[in-house]
């Protein structure tokens, strides 16, 4: 999860980048005691770009179906439940072949059947750290799997509700796509704007860890200290180019890596690193003579990264457990600090508290990053634009100028801002900067 997802977990709101409402797959049904997926028709307003959204609209349903089938096996071990779980995972794999979570679940089913060759094949195309994440979750913390898999749909529901197109997804009368609970629209004031959020009582209740019973039947209560809750969320929602970093058909991750221009021997800080989606590729970029600080405030994510480092014998990654407002990085040590899909989460999470609170939080947060950067160090901020919260390349650049950073390069695209800064005095007026015109 991103940095503010962990902050907002304290107040029971998980913020993830958006996708449209998912339709239930016909060939991969969930277990009776698992989440109930609705076939509520999409309203006309949410069909503006059906081709682009079709994959996103279905992937969450397949994840839920396979995760709950595996959970049913964990709760009632036996050949029949295991075969059904494998069948569900394989059906999902036909629809979402490059989905990391479903490949984890498929490999686990093969493992439980004693088919080591099939298990290995299911994970063959994935990077070493992803294979080790699989072992971390499904071997080392198997006793926590059932609880984590049960809570997972609530996180996916939150992902849908926090998307930039949530207003199209959750029109009046629509329900939670996993539990069938009515989704409520709530309005609030943010400065001079009227904002809206969507509340799912069932999923938000689960995320608050306040319910003793789910779906009307006694089930194991999800524990706050379950090491897999945040790890499986990361696995489930971070999919872009996870398997391969192809130069011929670069995906989102590869494009971001290319845009950063990381060089051998550099010291890079991956702020809000999560389970290391960018940390491990960064380590390959800087080489043995460089260092990558994997900073996050989620202890479970840090533990998972440490596990992967130990298994691979990696020497140039240093995990750092930060706090919401203190990255806890050594002063003057970093050539580049990268915030990838962190800024928007913070803005969304703290928007309801008002601009003064948000400004105060960002001041402490970026003061720590300023201290960690070398004199000529670079801060890179990459995130999705979001008009609801005033997030655009220009708005973020202006805000960062007041926080003591001057813009030196803008490689933004219409849907994503990619900005590079160096340190300056937070006077409200930065020295003149050499700005590369954004690609529009």
- Summarised one tens digit per residue, pLDDT across range 82-120 is 999 999 999 999 988 888 999 999 999 999 999 999 999
Does the pLDDT at position 334 exceed 80? Answer: yes
Say which range, 27-41, 290-304, 322-336, has the weakest mean pLDDT. 27-41
What integer pLDDT is reported at residue 19 of this predicted model? Answer: 28
What value does the mean pLDDT of the chain take? 79
pLDDT digits (tens, 9 = 90+) for 290-328: 999 999 999 999 999 999 999 999 999 999 999 988 999
Does the pLDDT at position 48 exceed 70? Answer: no
Q: Could you give the residue ranges of the DSSP H alpha helices within 34-125? A: 50-75, 79-95, 100-112, 116-122
pLDDT confidence tier of residue 3, bands split at 50, 70 and 90: low
Question: Region 237-249: what's the mean pLDDT?
Answer: 51
Does the pLDDT at position 227 exceed 80? Answer: yes
Q: Which domains does the chain have, with CATH numbers?
A: 3-237 (no CATH), 252-423 (3.40.50.150)
Task: Phi first, then psi: give them for residue 114, nearest 5 degrees.
Answer: 80, 20
What integer pLDDT is reported at residue 102 of this predicted model? Answer: 94
pLDDT digits (tens, 9 = 90+) for 52-66: 444 455 788 899 999
CA distance 63 to 89: 9
**pTM, whole model, 2 decimals?**
0.80
- First and final C-alpha spacing in the chain: 29
More confident residue, 438 or 170: 170
What integer pLDDT is reported at residue 2 of this predicted model? Answer: 47
pLDDT digits (tens, 9 = 90+) for 182-204: 888 888 777 777 777 888 888 88
């Amino acid at each position: 999860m991103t940095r503010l997802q962990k902050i907002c977990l304290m107040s029971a709101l998980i913020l993830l980048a958006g996708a449209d409402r998912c339709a239930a797959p016909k060939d991969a049904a969930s277990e009776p005691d698992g989440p109930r997926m609705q076939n509520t028709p999409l309203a006309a307003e949410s069909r503006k770009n059906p081709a682009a959204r079709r994959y996103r609209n279905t992937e969450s349903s397949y994840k839920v179906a396979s995760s709950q089938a595996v959970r049913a096996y964990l709760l009632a071990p036996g050949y029949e439940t295991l075969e059904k779980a494998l069948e569900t995972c394989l059906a999902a794999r036909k629809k979402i072949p490059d989905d990391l979570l479903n490949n984890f679940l498929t490999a686990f089913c093969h493992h439980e059947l004693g088919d080591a060759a099939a298990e290995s094949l299911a994970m063959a195309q994935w990077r070493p750290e992803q294979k080790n994440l699989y072992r971390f979750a499904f071997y080392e913390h198997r006793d926590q799997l059932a609880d984590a898999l049960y809570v997972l749909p609530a996180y996916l529901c939150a992902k849908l509700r926090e998307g930039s197109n949530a207003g199209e997804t959750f029109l009046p009368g629509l329900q939670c796509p996993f539990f069938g609970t009515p989704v409520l629209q709530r309005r609030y004031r943010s400065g001079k704007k009227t904002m809206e959020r969507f509340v799912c009582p069932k999923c938000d209740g689960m995320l608050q860890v306040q319910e003793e019973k789910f779906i009307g039947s006694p089930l194991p209560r999800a524990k706050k200290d379950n090491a897999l809750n945040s790890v499986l969320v990361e696995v489930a929602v971070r999919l872009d180019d996870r398997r391969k970093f192809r130069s011929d058909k670069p995906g989102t991750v590869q494009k971001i890596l290319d845009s950063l221009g990381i060089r051998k021997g550099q010291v890079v800080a991956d702020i809000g690193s999560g389970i290391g989606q960018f940390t491990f590729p960064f380590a390959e970029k800087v080489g043995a003579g460089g260092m990558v600080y994997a900073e996050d405030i989620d202890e479970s994510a840090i533990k998972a990264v440490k596990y992967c480092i130990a298994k691979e014998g990696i020497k140039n990654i240093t995990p750092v457990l930060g706090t919401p407002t203190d990255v806890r990085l050594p002063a003057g040590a970093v050539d580049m600090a990268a915030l990838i899909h962190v800024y928007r989460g913070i803005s969304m999470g703290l928007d309801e508290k008002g601009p003064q609170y948000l400004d105060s939080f960002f001041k402490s947060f970026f003061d720590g990053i300023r201290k960690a950067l070398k004199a000529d160090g670079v801060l890179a901020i990459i995130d999705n634009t979001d008009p609801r919260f005033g997030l655009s390349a220009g708005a973020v650049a202006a805000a960062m100028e007041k926080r003591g950073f001057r813009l030196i390069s803008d490689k933004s695209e219409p849907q994503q801002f990619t900005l590079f800064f160096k340190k300056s005095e937070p006077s409200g007026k930065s020295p003149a900067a050499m700005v590369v015109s954004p690609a529009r």
